[in-house]
Amino acid sequence: MNLVCKIACLALLMNTLPGIGQERVFYKTVQVHGLNIFYREAGPANGPVILLLHGVPTSSRMYQALLESSLSAKYRLIAPDYPGFGHSSWPSPKEFSYTFDNLARVMEDFADALKLSRYSLFLHDYGGPVGLRMAVAHPEKVQAIIIQNAVSHEEGLSPLWAARRAFWQDRASHEAAFRKSFLSMESTRNRHVGTSPHPDRIDPDTWTDEFYFVNQPGQPDIQTDLFFDYQNNLKAYPTWQMWLRDHQPPMLVLWGRYDPSFSVAGAEAYRKDVPSAELHILDAGHFALDEERAEVISLTEAFLQKRNRK
């Protein structure tokens, strides 16, 4: 084998082996309006930015696999924790109003604090309503949008949302039942496993750690207030859909088919607004990285490379 072939083979090997040729992950905190906002960061400081916005009841930890992937060799990956989540500040609801408007404002100011003038958004679950508010407020900053089980259309909401709507309509009568369900080990596990026929692929630490988190002092009040505000996301769906139709951002939609809360129809609905959206239905649940890590990374990398070539 000649020298050129040896070099080419070595390069291929380094790109396929996990942990090779990737950047170190850093764990940082920045102050935003008196709040400590924790974030994970990997990749070159001058690389194209991907802002990773997490769901519930998780944190930036859900993106650890992406931060440690080959994506970090080229892209600057930044995954913050919202106020009330993970390692960020947990002010009480008396000190901070837990609404999606407020989470979006904090994330906008977080991006400004890091001087992020342009970025691609990777949105999961609660990351959808946070990130789309940011996109509507500052369309000039958004280079592309990657959706992973984050709903922006009514048809994406499964029958489970009937009880949740009842909570919105009459909080006093339904709050105790909501808390009992949301904070239970069964519900926390179900958010990860859903109807997956392969529960043995999912690390139980994901839901046991989250169960511990949502049952910490103060968390039940924080999460209940925030979920009560979720009803305002549904009211914002027409605004987000219009923004997508008007701006036609490069869009990748990745969707775990076994999600108990968000149906596949929610993934397909994005093509009504952005016909060019790339859509992939994955053999996974709500947290697709739990089960299909390699596929999520590969599809994300291919999408970004294709967009950069245009």
Active site residues: 286
The 8-class DSSP code of residue 300 comes to H
What angle is formed at CA 50 by the lines to CA 44 and CA 52, rounded to 5 degrees? 120
Q: Judging by DSSP bridges, how do beta strands 35-42 and 76-80 pair with one another? A: antiparallel
> In sequence order, which ranges of the chain are alpha helices (DSSP H)?
3-16, 64-67, 100-113, 127-137, 161-169, 171-182, 185-193, 205-214, 219-229, 231-247, 264-268, 270-273, 288-291, 293-309
What angle is formed at CA 286 by the lines to CA 223 and CA 41, rounded to 5 degrees? 75
Shortest CA distance to 30 belongs to which of 145, 113, 134? Answer: 113
Q: Residue 84 in contact with residue 98, Cβ under 8 Å?
A: yes
Residue 125 backbone dihedrals phi, psi, to 5 degrees: 50, -115
Q: Is the alpha carbon torsion for 42, 45, 49, 53 positive or negative?
A: positive
Q: Is the alpha carbon torsion for 203, 57, 264, 171 positive or negative?
A: positive
With residue 251 as reference, give the H or E element that holds it. Answer: strand 251-256
Residue with structure tokens 């609404």? Answer: 99
Q: How far apart are CA 72 and CA 65, in angstroms?
A: 10
